[in-house]
Amino acid sequence: MAFNKEELLKKLGSLGFPQTEVVLTFEDFFVGNTYETSIGVNIPFKPPVLEFQNTFKKLLDEKIADKIFVRIVDIDDPEEWVFSDTVYVIGNISIEELQNRIKNLSPDDINEGWLYGEPVNIGEYDKSKNIFTILWD
């Protein structure tokens, strides 16, 4: 989908956003994303969005994570794209290993499971795998 905000907003609206929990795939949120205000802007030291992308891509490339999703929080700010403060990781990884692998991103918290409930557009995934919610508050 990469960076057509108008089409994205139509898709999100058809899914019931903002009343329902929706996510974007790793690719839909990050590939081509250069908007530094699109993720984790409230943390004192904010890594560049490219560092977020590369860190999560490495988890996927190394098959540590099966799927990575980005929770949509706001569609108005930044004006050019959408904002998130939450990433979901599904895979065969422990919370300790995940903490070590993403410490460069300075998350505020990592929780097990769907912290905000299972998104309506999550699709099929292996429910025997671990699910983690990563927050930048």
| Predicted pLDDT at 1 | 47
pTM of the model: 0.92
120 — pLDDT class (breaks 50, 70, 90): very high
| Predicted pLDDT at 76 | 83
| Predicted pLDDT at 3 | 60
Does the bond joining 47 to the residue before it have cis omega, within 30 degrees of 0?
no
| Predicted pLDDT at 74 | 86
| Predicted pLDDT at 37 | 87
Q: How many CB atoms lie within 10 A of CB 34?
A: 12
Q: How many CB atoms lie within 10 A of CB 50?
A: 12
3-class SS of residue 51:
helix
What mean pLDDT do residues 61-78 have? 91
